[in-house]
């Protein structure tokens, strides 16, 4: 009876030992994915900012500029891309809406971001765009991969439509959560005017005829929870200028927007709470369950060997040590 129980425990030990790497290297890539129908929004504010008054074409100080960012999963578009991509993808239809202190629109820029549901690598397909212009992303945007590493990543900048490194700067604590701090500097770059302008009747085409151009620079900062790859906080030192042309009345340049853009406090709290919950789920697949199964397999193996040893009577030789009986003569 003990020998039968030992064999059962040995079989279970082998099963759990084999299950450990399967959970980490097979189940994790297939289960840890961004939902295709996910919706999220974020409100950021730049207090004591500088904003251009398009009526007078003069830059003025304002108490606050608000940026509302939304990301909505497009399931129908994702299904179409998956037919040719051969993998699970997510299509995010994004919108960055900027409004002044009076609540009026400053700019509105739509975006479509297509990426791998697990790795967050960009997937190139028809429809990938920023403000209606086709783009080809060569880096991540909005989210880092699961199990983020302590290294630089390529990050896509929607304003300039370019990709450049975002640098790992160190490990910190943010609201009790261990995070990796990343920073990217985009130097002054000529960028297109938004297609939706704040003054009725003014279009990017009409501004282009005046010879005036739009320039942009930013220092982008992210505090990323490494297990989920989700930023728990973000900040930008954002600057925009209009340069040259007849629109400025002979001036070389004028500030269109300048401010320190930060996440609003209530969104920081909700983001940290959501990330902590998702972190537990990812750790179950990458650490808790694999190591738990491996430990359980080792314990069961020890119990199986112990039962085998207890099953033998004192002084009884092992089956392999029993001598062959001598033949009996007639």
Domain-located, residue 177? yes
Is the backbone of residue 77 left (phi > 0), alpha (psi -120 to 50) or beta?
alpha
Instruction: State the pLDDT confidence band at 197, using cuts at 50, 70 and 90.
Output: confident
Contact 18, 294 (CB under 8 A): no
66: domain range? Answer: 32-263
In this structure, the answer to whether residues 22 and 71 fall within a common structural domain is no
Residue 323 pLDDT greater than 60, yes or no: no
Instruction: State the pLDDT confidence band at 306, using cuts at 50, 70 and 90.
Output: confident
Q: Tell me how many domains the chain contains.
A: 2
Q: What percent of the chain has pLDDT over 90?
A: 73
In this structure, the answer to whether residues 213 and 300 fall within a common structural domain is no
Instruction: State the pLDDT confidence band at 71, using cuts at 50, 70 and 90.
Output: very high
In this structure, the answer to whether residues 191 and 139 fall within a common structural domain is yes
Position 2 scores a pLDDT of: 63
Instruction: State the pLDDT confidence band at 55, using cuts at 50, 70 and 90.
Output: confident
Q: What is the pLDDT of residues 7-38, one digit of tens each?
A: 888 888 899 999 999 998 999 998 999 999 99
Distance between CA atoms of 60 and 102, rounded to whole angstroms?
A: 13
In this structure, the answer to whether residues 170 and 44 fall within a common structural domain is yes
When pLDDT is averaged across residues 68-84 and rounded to a whole number, the result is 94
Residue 329 pLDDT greater than 60, yes or no: no
Question: How many Cβ atoms are within 10 Å of 174's Cβ, its own excluded?
Answer: 15
Q: Please provide the average confidence, as pLDDT, over all residues in the chain.
A: 90
Q: Which residue has the tokens 């990017």?
A: 204
**Which region among 119-123, 138-142, 158-162, 195-199 has the lowest average model confidence (pLDDT)?**
195-199
Contact 42, 268 (CB under 8 A): no
pLDDT top residue among 312 and 329: 312
Position 234 scores a pLDDT of: 95
Domain-located, residue 174? yes
Domain-located, residue 323? no
Distance between CA atoms of 198 and 240, rounded to whole angstroms?
A: 15
Distance between CA atoms of 225 and 231, rounded to whole angstroms?
A: 6
Domain-located, residue 293? yes
In this structure, the answer to whether residues 16 and 158 fall within a common structural domain is no
Residue 316 pLDDT greater than 80, yes or no: no
Helices (H) and strands (E) in the chain, counts: 6, 12
SS3 85: helix
Residue 169 pLDDT greater than 90, yes or no: yes
Q: What percent of the chain has pLDDT over 70?
A: 93
**Which region among 64-73, 107-116, 206-215, 258-267 has the lowest average model confidence (pLDDT)?**
206-215
Distance between CA atoms of 58 and 164, rounded to whole angstroms?
A: 32
Instruction: State the pLDDT confidence band at 330, using cuts at 50, 70 and 90.
Output: very low
In this structure, the answer to whether residues 24 and 137 fall within a common structural domain is no
Which value, in Å, is the radius of gyration of the alpha carbons in the chain? 30
Tokens of 77: 């578009």
């Amino acid at each position: 009876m003990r020998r039968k129980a030992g064999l059962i425990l040995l079989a279970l030990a082998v099963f759990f030992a084999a299950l450990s790497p399967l959970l980490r290297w097979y189940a994790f890539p297939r289960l840890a994915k961004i939902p295709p129908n996910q919706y999220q929004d974020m409100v950021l504010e730049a207090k004591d900012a500088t904003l251009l008054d398009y009526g007078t074409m003069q830059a003025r100080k304002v108490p606050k500029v608000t940026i509302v960012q939304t990301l909505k999963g497009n399931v129908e578009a994702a299904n179409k891309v998956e037919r040719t991509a051969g993998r699970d993808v997510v299509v995010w239809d994004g919108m960055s809406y900027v409004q002044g202190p009076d609540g009026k629109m400053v700019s509105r820029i739509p975006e479509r971001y297509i990426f791998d549901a697990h790795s967050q690598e960009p997937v190139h397909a028809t429809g990938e765009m920023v403000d209606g212009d086709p783009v080809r992303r060569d880096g991540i945007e909005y989210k880092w991969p699961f199990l983020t590493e302590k290294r630089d990543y390529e990050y896509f900048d929607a304003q300039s439509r370019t990709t450049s490194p975002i640098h790992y700067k160190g490990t910190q604590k943010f609201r009790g959560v261990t995070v990796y701090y990343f920073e990217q500097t985009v130097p002054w770059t000529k960028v297109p005017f938004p297609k939706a302008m704040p003054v009725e009747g003014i279009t990017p085409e009409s501004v282009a005829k005046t010879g005036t151009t739009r320039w942009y620079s930013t220092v982008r900062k992210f505090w990323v929870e490494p297990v989920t790859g989700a930023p728990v906080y973000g900040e930008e030192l954002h600057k925009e200028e209009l340069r040259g042309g007849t629109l400025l009345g002979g001036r070389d340049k004028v500030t269109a927007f300048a401010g320190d853009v930060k996440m609003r406090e209530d969104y920081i709290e909700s983001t940290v709470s959501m990330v902590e919950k998702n972190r537990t789920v990812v750790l179950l697949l990458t650490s808790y369950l694999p190591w738990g199964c491996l430990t359980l397999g080792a314990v069961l193996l020890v119990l199986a060997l112990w039962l085998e040893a207890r099953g033998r009577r004192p002084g009884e030789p092992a089956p392999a040590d029993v001598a062959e009986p001598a033949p009996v003569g007639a």
